[in-house]
Structure formats: C-alpha cells, structure tokens
Structure 1
Amino acid sequence: MATKVWFCITFSIILFNASVEKASADDFFANLRGSHKGETIEGIKILKMYLQNIGYIDSDPSNTNITTNIFDDLLESALKTYQSYYNLNVTGVLDDNTVSLLSQPRCGVRDFPEERPDYSFFPGKPKWWTFNLTFAFAPGTRGDAIDAVANALEDWSSVSPFKFTVNNVFDDANFKINFQSINWPHKPLAFSTEPRDGKLHFNADEKWVNGQVAGGYDIESVGLHEIGHLLGLEHSKDPNAVMYPYISSDTVKIKLQPDDIQGLKVLYNF
C-alpha cells in the first residue's frame, strides 16, 4: 500500500546559510523526533517557519520567537493546533504520528484551523458571482495535461450548477492554468488561488503522469483538488475527501466524495 502524502508541499527543508543546503524530511525529523517544550535543538526555527507557512503560526514581523531554536510556548501551541486539526493526539510534542504527517508532501494552500465541519472555506468565504466560468491553459501546455484537467472540471460540473468552457484568451479566463517552476522553500507540487483570482499552477519540476505510476503525480487527481480551491473550498479534515491535503504520489483519487460536494453546496447554496 502506498504511503499517504497529498498534494502539494514536498518537505524539502532549505537551510538559509551561505551555502544553501537541502535536507530530506527523514533526516530533518530524525533530529527533532520526540522533542518537546524547553529544549533547544538545531532546526526548531525551520520547523516554526514551516508551521507558519501552512497556517499554524501567525505571520507577525514582530514575533522574534520564530527565529530561535527554542522549543517554546509558540511552537507547542502551534503543534497542538496542528494535532487537533488532523485528529492526532494533542500532546504538543513531536511524537511519531505528528512527525509522520508533517514530513509528507502537502498542499501549498494554507490551512485555516478552526472549529468547523470536515469541509472548510477561505476566510470571508469568497466565491464566484456566476456558475458559468471559463478556463484556459498557458501556451505550450502538454495535451495530456489539458485533457486530464478538463476531466477534473467535468467532475466538478457533474455535481454542481457550474459549467466550464474554454476561453482562447489566457488572460481573460476565469481559471488560468499553467505548468511552471515554483521555487518556494517547501517545494509545492501545485498551488491555486481563491475566487476570484483563479490561478492554478502545477510545479513543472515534478513528475506528472496520467493514472497510477510509481513516483509520479496524477494530473487529474491533483487538478481535482486544486479546482476545489479555485471554486472556494479550503482543506477538509475528512481523509477520504478530495480536499484532504495528503495523498500518495502514486495514488489516483478522481472521485469527488460527499464531503467535497456538501462543502460546495453549503458555499453556493444550491
């Protein structure tokens, strides 16, 4: 059985020093596994930055604690929130289950942890003003990727009033879809913006495939998840949902689940 990893961030830690060094997630967490409040360990500040990037520590420039390697109240609180969000034991400690989930690739879109049902929305619940939306692919996009994303759009259309049509002018489309290098520190596999911005970026540096191929990411499965973001859905806590932020690189997940559909129904009231 494939290990669960999902969509977007490959935890490729970048150490910010004179010679930028990359460490694997396994190597990184081997040093942090089992750590708890009160300890000072090299790499803690990188973990704090990562938790900030995915929504568990506020982006406050005056917060100097994020730049220290001290396992402090800030980190303990962030870990407890993360553990609660993903139904792990809420310990505030880097236990095995927490480390296992943190070290997996995940979506580049931030979590917005709060008390809620499994599905969720972006802050303010942004959404489209019409059910008739257009999409376009950047010039030069490979044909099999166009077909796969078009299939994903059709899946969302089949469970909602949304209708998607091609716009031949890329800049005028509601959804602008492309493959490009995304050189963020934590290497997102893909990233989408909320309504009504409508941008979907697949990381061109990854191995994109159609179907279940070892070591490859299924374009339609990832596209299905990212289109959910374009429509206004945030991440789900339901591990069976398409909008859950973790899946394996060689898993095909192209069927929308009740949680995904219910979230869209609640947002758009249909």
Structure 2
Amino acid sequence: MAMATNFCHQLLGAFLTILVLQPLVVKSRLMKLESPRNHGQGQSNCDSLGGGVGGPTSDGLLHNTLSSGRWYNFPVTYGFRSGYVVPSGLDPQVVTTVIDVAFGKWKAAIPDPQFAFQRITPGDNANIKITFAPLPGYYGYGYYPPNGNLSLDNSHTSWSTKPTPAGNEVDLLSGVLNTIGHTLGLEDSTDPTAVMYPTLKYGSIKRNLSPDDISRIQNLYYYSRPHLELAKPL
C-alpha cells in the first residue's frame, strides 16, 4: 500500500512539472515528404516532431535520413506568397529584412560561391514560399526539399523583432533560422545550443548558427560533392 501511494505521488508530481514547464517553450514543426525511395515509388507522407524543455525531445516518431532531401540548383529562390499579411505589431519591411538576414547566415556557413539564395517578389514561384498562417501548437512549419514551403504562425505567437524579446515573445530571427534549416533539408538537432534544436524558449534568442548547425549544413551541401579540380597534365 505504501509503495502504491508513493508511486501515485511521483506520478502526480511529474504531471504538475509538465504543466509548469510547458508554457515556457514553443515548438517548430518540421514537415517532411518521404522520398520515393521509401514505401513505394511516388508515395509521400508527412509527420511532425516536437518537444519541450524539461519534457521529451521527440514525440516518438522515427527519423528517416532518406526523407529530408536537399536543393541541387542554385541560387535557391525564396519569397513571400502573394497576399500574405504579417501579424499585427510587425513592420513588413523589418520582417523582410529579418528573413534576408537569416538566409544570409545559412549562406555564410558554406564556403562555396555556388551555394546562394535569391529573394524574388512575389514568391509564389519561389523554391521556398513563405507565408503567415494559423499553426496551433507551433510557431513554424518547415517542409523539406523539394517542397520548401515555410509557414510562420499568426494566431497565437507573439513575434518580436526587438533586440531583446519579452518573456512572452518569440524572437523572429531565432525562429526563422530554424524553419529555414528544415526547408534546406536539415533534421532536428539533439544539441540544445543549436538553432536546429526543436524547441525555443519564450524570450530567448538563437541568432547565430552553432558548430553543430554549421557542421550539418556543410555535410549536406559542401562535403557531399568534390570541390577540387583535378590537376591538368603538363
């Protein structure tokens, strides 16, 4: 009886801990289309990953390294879909600047001039199409190549473009860096310091790529193909 009572108390304590910690984090949701090499030619599927500080870092879904994909033609274009509306309180020009800065940080991680991005207006025909939309439970969706769609929440997320976000706000640059990483083909990271870590605490900032982020994007786009020309015979 004593053991059963202790177990109930421990279970109740764990439940209360989750309730307390859950409001402290927000999630990005990566949406991935399976490669035709999985489960039959041409079949596609999507799922989500998420987690919280003090809670699980994955929802138990399997990671499949064959499903992420990458871009092969450059520059990769990006832009906002026609008719998009930024959430109240945000300056559209500032939002555009933040997006440009975020793509610039991923560009700077690759020491290859061919790896480049280009913003086009409107972005309806861009490789990476950006919009704001209601995303219950998440601050952003990022789809793997060749889909490339990128959605940012406009229903419950208080976005910030200030130098220091408030305790109930999500830093736009930090969130966008994560979702762009997914549209480039990166999986979630298990490194809590990485931009690609699946959760972001309210009021926190991750405005620079971590060594883990840089290593993984270089492995995907730089070290995966030769960059040195063969010496020509004399």
Give the shorter-chain TM-score range. Answer: 0.5 to 0.7
Give the TM-score of the pair, scaled to structure 2.
0.65
Q: CA deviation at 1:106?
A: 1.9
Q: CA deviation at 1:169?
A: 3.5
Matched, 1:144 2:110: no
CA distance in 2: counterparts of 1:159 and 1:193, whole angstroms: 21
Matched, 1:261 2:214: yes
Matched, 1:198 2:151: no
Equivalent in the alignment of 1:78: none
The 5 A counterparts of 1:1-270 are 34-35=10-11, 94=14, 104-109=25-30, 110-111=48-49, 122-138=65-81, 139=83, 140-141=85-86, 142-160=92-110, 161=112, 162-182=115-135, 184=136, 187-205=137-155, 206-210=157-161, 211-214=163-166, 215-270=168-223
Corresponding residue SS for 2:151: strand
RMSD: 2.9
CA distance in 1: counterparts of 2:145 and 2:9, whole angstroms: 38
Letter in 2 for 1:153: F
How many equivalent pairs are there?
176
Distance 1:258 1:191, change over 3 A: same
Distance 1:121 1:174, change over 3 A: farther
Q: CA deviation at 1:170?
A: 2.1
Cα deviation code 1:28-66 (max 9, x no counterpart): xxxx98439xxxxxxxxxxxxxxxxxxxxxxxxxxxxxx
Q: CA deviation at 1:247?
A: 2.3
**For structure 1, which runs of at least 5 residues remain unmatched after alignment?**
1-31, 37-92
Equivalent in the alignment of 2:36: none
CA distance in 2: counterparts of 1:125 and 1:267, whole angstroms: 10
CA distance in 1: counterparts of 2:169 and 2:14, whole angstroms: 29
CA contact (8 A) 2:68 2:144 kept: no
Distance 1:217 1:121, change over 3 A: farther
Corresponding residue SS for 1:127: coil
CA distance in 1: counterparts of 2:76 and 2:151, whole angstroms: 18
CA contact (8 A) 1:121 1:233 kept: no
Q: CA deviation at 1:130?
A: 2.1
Distance 1:207 1:99, change over 3 A: closer
Q: CA deviation at 1:149?
A: 1.1
Letter in 1 for 2:79: A
Larger helix fraction of residues = 1
Q: CA deviation at 1:94?
A: 4.8
Distance 1:126 1:101, change over 3 A: farther
Letter in 2 for 1:106: K
CA contact (8 A) 1:108 1:188 kept: yes
CA distance in 2: counterparts of 1:170 and 1:207, whole angstroms: 24
Equivalent in the alignment of 2:231: none
CA contact (8 A) 1:33 1:95 kept: no
CA contact (8 A) 1:238 1:259 kept: yes
CA contact (8 A) 2:175 2:200 kept: no
CA contact (8 A) 1:195 1:232 kept: yes
Corresponding residue SS for 2:29: coil
